[in-house]
Amino acid sequence: MNRQMIVYDEQRQIFHLMNDNISYVFEVIEDTYLAHRHWGKRIESYSLSNKPTLKKRTFAAMNIPERPEFSLEYVPLEVSFPNQGDYREASVQIRMGNGYTVSRFSYEKFEISDGTPEFTAFPHARDLPESNSQTLTIHMVDPISSIRLLLFYTIFEDADVIIRSSKIINESNASVLIEKLFSASVDMRYDGHLCTTFYGTHQREFQLNRQSISHGKFSIGSSRGASGPQYPPYLSISKDATEFSGDVHAMTLIYSGNHLSNLERDQYNHLRLQIGLNPDTFTWQLGPGESFQSPQAALSYSDKGYNGNSNVFHRFFNNHLIPQSWVNKSRPILVNSWEMSYFNVSEKIMIDLIDSAKELGFEAVVLDDGWFGERNSSKTSLGDWEIDANKFPNGIKPLVDYAKERDLQFGIWFEPEMISPNSALMQNHPDWVMRTAEYEPLLGRSQYILDLTNEEVQEFIIELLTRSITDYGVSYIKWDMNRHITEPASTLLNQSHANEYSHRYMMGLYRILNTITTLFPEVLFENCSSGGGRLDPGMLYFMPQTWASDNTDGLDRQRIQYGASYLFPPYSLTGHVSSIPNHQTGRMTDFETRKHLASSTNMGYEMDIIQLSNHEKDIIKAHVARYKEDRDFLMESEFYRLESPFDTNHCTWMFTDKARNKIIVYLFRNTFDISELSLLIKIPFIDLKADYVEINSQMQYSGSELANCGIALENPKGDYISVRLDFEKC
């Protein structure tokens, strides 16, 4: 029997979700509403100690006439509706058949069950037999409209995360329109908090944005048809928190499409945090007897600062999100053909690449773009997934076999969601293009998007991937997506479903991904969208790694990887060593810097390894061999950020096992400052009572000395230098 982690106090009507570290508490008030009381550090019991005294206020709507002091305007709610006197942002909004959005939902009952909810339509927290979890389901009903609302709360024994989602069931005889359905909404008291989000663009993903919270509303999100690098689904609040200490509350969404995160500070200094589907691009027609389920939101809390909060997400993603066939399974060290040859790939180049990869110790080669149709540029052939006989006269299967004979895996690049105007697929199936009937679709990167709401298109992609994996024998698929949606429309959907399109597209994509990854659990799928254009927890459910950015520059990558680590375990991010001058920035950075950045992720190479001197080969051989020694440790380790490239001229992070027996520290110092005599690193995440030896220098230090005094390193002349330190407990 599972440990009881959800307790209901029947006398006080209080729900208390708890594990060893966290508590989440809310109360049923007036037998009708759900009032939030606590989300944070574990408490042993709750007796309404922080319940505020209500006072009658002018202009406040009276929900209970005989109690004029009671108004939803200043009650901290778990779920909120419009037109009930709560003028803050609603979390659920339904337009009834009469055209109004007036509804009156009341608490009805609850259910507590072991395990997590299973959703076949989209990614969700996985229920593992060896991991104790429980789910609370709250039923709320509107007896006038006969609409039922279910609120799901899941808590885990091994993760300080609360999983929330919502479901609407139409029990009436008429259709209604869902206009808003957030996955999570939490009201808290403002106490001088700061808000942390991320912004970015192609080649500059996950840029840190931390700001004070003013009165009013602050929102980030996407209406691009993908989670997007511009504003990925992440929102956190903290007071006086650092990377090393302080309370941090954070939200993310297990979803890859249009999303919205809201933060509202009202006139009474309440904070409302919300995350879910973007209502600007979403409505859903719900017929009699039908239901609609929102994506899941993951709510993370830690009292150990931003690092602690990140580690909560890292453990949860590793244990409960990534495909189970890849949990604690190392991925091959690969070399990708893209920056070596771009579209000018050929059989000879790939044979030479395989030979060089074998010599240098790599474990896989990847044939990137340019292998199909007449694909000599980005302007043609997407959709025509037939091998270019001029470049590969013997096909790809002999190359795969050649690689396997040398104990190398072989991977291949696809962009299956796209179609080129200049393609046979376009001539044969113009109706498969995402577009309106009235307007010509806009090009992005010289391509259109396939209509994934069309089941024929879904089956085309499923058959394409199935045939390619089976016929070619590849063991790795790089799945790319190089533009965002401009016309979210289908010739198949009627006009009343127009604002459902973006979500239906995601459901189509998820059906394809679920089918393919279920058929081929042994194939490694890498998520890519011009790098991090769709880097989100939803894609992590199907693909255990993501190409973090097309920008491999040794300076820019510091910020990208630092920011992405707030959500994602470093080993779920792919980083490659590329050549210099860097192809994206033209910048020259030292090999050690590029090596250490890639070694802080799921490492590979993105450069010409065929034309190397013997000295260069020896350097790369040594790097690959060293990473093989580190790989299992990195995959299972805890990751901590020590110095931020957003605030300083340095970037420092570390990896350690839970027992703190082994520690790897990487320091990146960018421009040389002549007044900086030495580089000083403090290592707080260490066993303070133990002694350590630094392997490279053979110097011995106490853990308390390294944490409180730090270790001073030489500050050599020149820009963009990097240092690795290896500590082992004595």
Say if residue 478 is in the same domain as residue 402: yes
Q: Is residue 501 part of a domain?
A: yes
CA distance linking residue 327 with residue 333, whole number of Å: 17
Radius of gyration (C-alpha) of the chain in whole angstroms: 27
CA nearest to 119, candidates 506, 520, 523, 572:
506
Asked if the structure places residue 329 within a domain, the reply is: no
Under DSSP, is residue 624 helix (H, G, I), strand (E, B) or coil? Answer: helix
Domain assignment of residue 326, yes or no? no
Considering the domain architecture, whether residues 231 and 359 belong to the same structural domain is answered as: no
Q: Is 388 a catalytic residue?
A: no
Number of domains in the chain: 3
Whether 550 is catalytic is yes
> What token pair was written down for 692?
């350590």
Q: Are residues 339 and 310 in the same domain?
A: no
pLDDT at 309: 98
152 and 279 in a single domain? The answer is: yes
How long is the chain?
730
3-state secondary structure 467-481: HHHHHHCCCEEEECC
- Domain membership flag for residue 45: no
Answer yes or no: do 610 and 689 share one domain.
Answer: no
pTM for this model (two decimals): 0.98
Q: Mean pLDDT of residues grouped by 10 in the chain (730 residues)?
A: 88 98 98 98 96 90 90 96 96 96 97 93 90 96 97 97 98 97 98 98 98 98 98 97 98 98 97 98 97 98 98 97 95 98 98 98 98 97 98 98 98 98 97 94 97 97 98 98 96 79 97 98 98 98 98 98 98 98 98 98 98 98 98 97 97 98 98 95 97 97 98 96 98
Domain finish residue from 601, 619, 636: 636
Q: Are residues 545 and 570 in the same domain?
A: yes
168: left (phi over 0), alpha (psi -120 to 50) or beta: beta
Domain assignment present for residue 224? The answer is: yes
457 phi and psi angles, rounded to 5 deg = -65, -45
Domain that holds residue 616: 334-636
Query: In this structure, are 716 and 665 located in the same domain?
Result: yes
Residue 291 sits in the same domain as residue 410: no
**Which two tokens mark 115?**
């395990």
Q: What are the backbone dihedrals phi and psi of residue 471, each rounded to the nearest 5 degrees, phi first?
A: -75, -40
Q: Which of 160, 480, 536, 553 is catalytic?
A: 480
The position carrying tokens 């059906």 is 511
Catalytic residue chosen out of the listed positions 86, 266, 550, 608: 550
pLDDT (0 to 100) of residue 495: 67
Among candidate residues 589, 613, 636, the one where a domain is terminated:
636
Same domain, 381 and 354: yes
The CATH code of the domain that includes 199 is 2.70.98.60
For 117-133, b where at least 16 C-beta lie within 10 A, e where not — what string? bebeebbbbbbbeebbb
The per-residue pLDDT for 246 is: 98
Tell whether 14 is covered by a domain. no
- Is the residue at 413 inside a domain? yes
Lateral strand order in the sheet of 638-643:
638-643, 650-656, 662-669, 721-729, 691-694, 699-702
- Domain termination residue (choose one: 321, 355, 384): 321
